[in-house]
Amino acid sequence: NAGVTQTPKFRILKIGQSMTLQCAQDMNHNYMYWYRQDPGMGLKLIYYSVGAGITDKGEVPNGYNVSRSTTEDFPLRLELAAPSQTSVYFCASSPRWAANTEAFFGQGTRLTVV
Amino acid sequence: KNEVEQSPQNLTAQEGEFITINCSYSVGISALHWLQQHPGGGIVSLFMLSSGKKKHGRLIATINIQEKHSSLHITASHPRDSAVYICAVRGSGGGADGLTFGKGTHLIIQP
């Protein structure tokens, strides 16, 4: 059972380049999230989705885009990479919104923009 | 917006010591999560609780809803417990927008 799979694990981008961080889950979860983790800070929500075709902005969405064409996949797109986007990115999923719902996280993608 | 504070930020202890990590939050919640992150690794869920106490092996988590406070305890600590421990809360407002996270407690257990 793979759970939440993120690719790539590491990436170095040049300023202005674009890339897509991939996230896939095989648990048939409706809810999926993208977070970023900066040194000394708590994880911040970038975008989330409550089901295929539905996405919404989180706390720090600027510079990112998402899509959710299937239940399984939730890619995060960086169009014009900036040094401020250097961070560790985590994708997470949960089956539903409820008080007793566990969150499942991927292994993270460490992105450096130079 | 809920504010989640963890203490201490950093903790170094000797193998075998009893460890306590604290988490407080500012607004009522529906659930609190304790997560573990090993260096360079992913995030793993340890506990999810909305009241009382839970125990898994050497780990114990408690929550006091009235005081808006939770603690994570590690008994007979071991070097493999070295990791960042993160407290996260899910709001009670009904929104689907995920968890609010503390900054984490960096724990080092020395042999």
| Chain A hits for B30, Cβ within 8 Å | 98-99
Start-to-end CA span in chain B (Å): 40
Interface touch A103/B101, C-beta < 8 Å: no
Is the separation of the CB atoms in B38 and A105 below 8 Å? no
Interface touch B45/A104, C-beta < 8 Å: yes
One digit per residue, pLDDT tens: chain B, 111 residues?
788 999 999 999 999 999 999 999 998 888 899 999 988 778 999 999 989 999 999 999 999 999 999 999 999 999 999 999 999 998 776 566 678 999 999 999 999
pLDDT score of A99 more than 60: no
**pLDDT single digits (tens) A52-83:** 999 999 999 999 999 999 999 999 999 999 99
Residue B11: its H or E element: strand B10-14
Given CB atoms, is B93 within the 8 Å cutoff of chain A? no
Q: How many CB atoms lie within 10 A of CB A14?
A: 8
Interface touch B98/A108, C-beta < 8 Å: no
**pLDDT single digits (tens) A10-45:** 999 999 999 999 999 999 999 999 999 998 898 999
Instruction: Report pLDDT for B87.
Output: 96
The amino acid present at A108, given as its one-letter code, is G
Is the separation of the CB atoms in B46 and B61 below 8 Å? yes
